[in-house]
Amino acid sequence: MATYVIDAPPVDASLFFPEAPMKTALGIIFLLVLCADASAQNQLGNPTTRTLQQLAELTGTETYALVSTSVAISGNTLVIGAPSANSPNGCFECGAAYVYTAVGGDWTNLSLTATLEQSSGQFEGGFGDSVAIGGDTIVVGGYDFAVESGAAYVYISPSGTTTENAELTTSGSASGVFNSVSIDGNAIVAGSNLSSVGSEKEVGSAYVYVEPEGGWINATQTALLVANNESMGCYFGNSVGISGNTVVVGAPRSDANGLVQRGRAYVFVAPAEGWSGTRGQTAELDPSDGTSRAYFGQSVSISGGNVIVGAPQQTIGSNGTQGAVYVYTRPSTGWPKTMTETAELTAVNGKAGSELGYSVALSGRTLLSGAADTHNHQGTAYVFSEPAGGWQTGAGGTPISASDGAASNGFGAAVGIGGGVLTVSAPGWPNGIGGDGAVYIFGQVQ
């Protein structure tokens, strides 16, 4: 086992576990440890007798550097958001994002290739609260106090310590920090769950940005997405995802069908002429068995014609807050005005308080979801693979966990899929209170 240590600026995890302030820093410990008992999926899609293994663990050498609230992977590149880090230029708790590359496609050999910061470094601006990557473009969510707007910072093929190539902000009503971002092709979507809509405060919004022909430049939104039936405190924009011309947005604190904070999710489809103006939803997604305070919409993901929505506090049978993940497959006729799930997934060994669905990621036929509260908050992630006949309701999934996990690690707080591997963050590693944070990579050893 090889050990690598890479210094990086500091980061805080109180955003994830406010009752347990955490510390972190960046280093790398490479492991080849078996972490899944059940049969995994070859290339994360086809049945195989191989099992998932922990390929790498990123850990810390400085306070607050790796308490991550967001991770994203594309190809051989991993991006980790660190919203309370001290930036490389010395700005206290201004946030940072770290870019790692799998050298030669080998995820047991990682190189820290870039440390991202915002040019106008701002204390507690939430920079790194959300990250996304598509091709050579990286997006980091945050806030710009100077213009009182959420901000998405765009980086093109970054290397070393660098600031953004473009800053995307909002026009119109006030918006909060961009706590969720997603990118596909030349379009970026960013969510702000506390933004105002007209005179209605703290409703939440999502913003679409389309790359100009000459490349990304500082700009305000191309289109504003709003839900027609939401009001103050619903947290619309808490989670977002984009695939092609379709955007999904979660509103986990929305009251629905007489159920307090049951939550909702919405699908928006771009018109033939493209994104523009203010747009209401194309479809509303609902759970058929939603319960009060299920927080349906806490997490969302989209891949092709499938949308995934996490409800981490959904009651399953008599198990409160066991959590569930709902799958919605677009009908051949297109998204209907309202729709209940195609399938509801629960954990094979699900228990009360697990909170499956706190985080979700979908790529092709593979779904990864975090259940950060299992085993006294140690946390577990579950890998689901779509059956040949399509997604089906039931308990299942392959559980994966950290080789060095412990109580209050929160493993599963953020998840990502890409490059043939899975990544999972554990902001409370190694011991919860005062922890340093860690990010793990899982795959198959060839």
Share of the chain above pLDDT 90, in %: 71
90 pLDDT band (50/70/90 cuts)? confident
432 pLDDT band (50/70/90 cuts)? confident
With 0-12 / 13-18 / 19 or more C-beta atoms within 10 angstroms meaning exposed / middle / buried, residue 146 is exposed
- The tokens of 410 are what? 């929160």
CATH number of the domain enclosing 203: 2.130.10.130
**pLDDT given for residue 67 in this prediction:** 73
Residue 102 lies in a domain: yes
Range of the domain at 132: 11-443
The span from the CA of 195 to the CA of 183, in Å, is 20
Task: Give whole-number Cα distances, 56 to 1, 29, 100, 102, 212, in Å.
Answer: 10, 6, 12, 10, 38
Write down the mean pLDDT value for the chain: 86
**pLDDT given for residue 125 in this prediction:** 75
- The tokens of 263 are what? 């939550």
**pLDDT given for residue 268 in this prediction:** 98
The span from the CA of 167 to the CA of 215, in Å, is 12
Q: How many CB atoms lie within 10 A of CB 90?
A: 9
- The tokens of 155 are what? 């980086």
**pLDDT given for residue 13 in this prediction:** 29
**pLDDT given for residue 255 in this prediction:** 93
| Overall domain count for the chain | 1
Where is 307: in which H helix or E strand? strand 306-311
Check: CB of residue 24 under 8 Å from CB of residue 11: yes
**pLDDT given for residue 388 in this prediction:** 92
Residue 326 lies in a domain: yes
Q: How many CB atoms lie within 10 A of CB 202?
A: 18
What tens digit of pLDDT does each residue of 154-178 get?
Answer: 999 999 999 999 999 999 877 889 9
- The tokens of 14 are what? 């109180």
Check: CB of residue 296 under 8 Å from CB of residue 340: no
**pLDDT given for residue 48 in this prediction:** 37
Residue 367 lies in a domain: yes
Q: Is the model more confident about 37 or about 143?
A: 143
Residue 6 lies in a domain: no
Mapped onto helix, strand or coil, the DSSP state of residue 105 is helix
Report the pLDDT averaged over residues 112-127.
87
What tens digit of pLDDT does each residue of 389-402 get?
Answer: 999 999 999 999 99
Among positive and negative, which fits the CA dihedral 153, 158, 161, 166? negative
- The tokens of 63 are what? 């306070």
Among positive and negative, which fits the CA dihedral 394, 395, 401, 406? positive
With a cut of 80, say whether residue 63 has pLDDT above it.
no
**pLDDT given for residue 285 in this prediction:** 98
Residue 2 lies in a domain: no
**pLDDT given for residue 26 in this prediction:** 47
295 torsion bin: left (phi>0), alpha (psi -120 to 50), beta (else):
left
Where is 190: in which H helix or E strand? strand 187-192
Q: What is the CA radius of gyration of the chain?
A: 20
Q: DSSP character for 65?
A: S
Residue 5 lies in a domain: no
- The tokens of 11 are what? 């980061």
Poorest-pLDDT segment among 37-41, 276-280, 341-345: 37-41
**pLDDT given for residue 243 in this prediction:** 97
What tens digit of pLDDT does each residue of 141-156 get?
Answer: 999 988 888 999 999 9
**pLDDT given for residue 32 in this prediction:** 36
pTM, rounded to two decimals: 0.89
With a cut of 70, say whether residue 297 has pLDDT above it.
yes
Nearest to 300 by CA among 290, 280, 285, 289: 285
In terms of average pLDDT, the best of 198-207, 229-238, 413-422 is 413-422
Contacts of 215 (CB under 8 A, 6+ apart): 156
Check: CB of residue 400 under 8 Å from CB of residue 432: no
Residue 246 lies in a domain: yes
**pLDDT given for residue 345 in this prediction:** 98
Report the pLDDT averaged over residues 130-151.
94
Residue 27 lies in a domain: yes
Check: CB of residue 56 under 8 Å from CB of residue 110: yes
